[in-house]
Amino acid sequence: MAVNDSGRGYSPTPRGTGEPRLDHRPIEARKLGCLRESCVKRVLDIAVAATALTFLAPFFGLLVLIVRLDSPGPTFFSQRRVGRHGIVFTLWKVRSMYEGSSQSLHHQASVDWFDERRNGRRYKSDVDPRVTRVGRFLRLSSFDELPQLWNVLKGEMSLVGPRPVMDYERCHFVGWHFEREIVRPGITGLWQVSGRDRLSAPEMLALDLEYVRSRSFWLDMKILARTVPAVLGELRSKRASREPELRPQPRA
């Protein structure tokens, strides 16, 4: 946070335009408030992650069976991601691709996604030949993200925060983009509940910055409350888009 001539803090608007928003509290009070919110957020993360992992244990057992019956290979998949303060950590997911699938397709798709001269759309999993039948449902329902509760418990992630990126995505960051690394990355966030894959990379980064600069306990609660409806909306949208393909075609 910057300091003006009066010794008070201010922060730019979420989108980085217009007049800065003045924060009339003393710097010390602002820091104390941030520390308090950070502690509350961490306690919430631990409580929810520990409870969810306990109650979801039978569900994870079912996932192990379903994923292995669908395709050979391990149930869980690990990936190196960039977290808070640029520290790399191991992120866990339920495997949704065939074992041994190349990451080159995702690498190129990420390059295109961060290129503002292109259409800004992500490579869709429903046309990705590397994704298994069960994997398509896991991705649409976001069930593949559930193992990240373990990352939350370890303190590498939070329930709510910016999307954790890979190193070859981070290399496209410039200037203010790195401000998103002030906080822990999240399982869900503003990007996930605001359109997800329908948004471009610059739009995702703008939403991340908006979250970082206006984060609070109540904003986290609102995002968590919107997460399930957002996932269900994605499922309904996908089902509606597939209905014309599933209808029997009239004979000539």
Say which residue, 199 or 161, is predicted with more confidence. Answer: 161
In a domain, 221, yes or no: yes
Give pLDDT tens digits for 178-192.
Answer: 999 999 999 999 998
Distant-in-sequence, close-in-space partners of 171: CB < 8 Å, separation ≥ 6: none
Range of the domain at 219: 26-241
What is the model's pLDDT at position 2?
45
Burial of 173 (0-12, 13-18, 19+ CB in 10 A): middle
Regarding beta strands 21-26 and 8-11, do their DSSP bridges make them parallel or antiparallel, or are they unpaired? Answer: antiparallel
Distance, CA of 50 to chain centre: 20
Task: Please name which of 51, 100, 56 lies closest in space to residue 74, comparing C-alpha atoms.
Answer: 100
Residue 103: in which H helix or E strand, if any?
Answer: none
In a domain, 45, yes or no: yes
In a domain, 250, yes or no: no
What is the model's pLDDT at position 157?
98
In a domain, 181, yes or no: yes
In a domain, 222, yes or no: yes
In a domain, 94, yes or no: yes
Tell me the average pLDDT of the chain: 79
Q: Tokens 């608007």 label which residue?
A: 13
DSSP code for 180: G
CA distance 162 to 188: 8
Let me know the angle formed at the C-alpha of 73 by 67 and 78, rounded to the nearest 5 degrees.
Answer: 90
Cα atoms found within 13 Å of the Cα of residue 30, Cβ hemisphere only: 15
CA distance 85 to 183: 8
Beta partners for residue 131, in sequence order: 97
Q: Tokens 């690990």 label which residue?
A: 78
Give pLDDT tens digits for 90-143.
Answer: 999 999 988 877 666 666 666 666 665 455 555 555 567 888 999 988 988 889
What is the model's pLDDT at position 126?
54
Strand, helix or coil for residue 131? strand
Q: How confident is the model at residue 211 (pLDDT cuts 50, 70, 90)?
A: very high
In a domain, 6, yes or no: no
In a domain, 251, yes or no: no
Residue 94 is which amino acid?
Answer: V
Domain total for the chain? Answer: 1
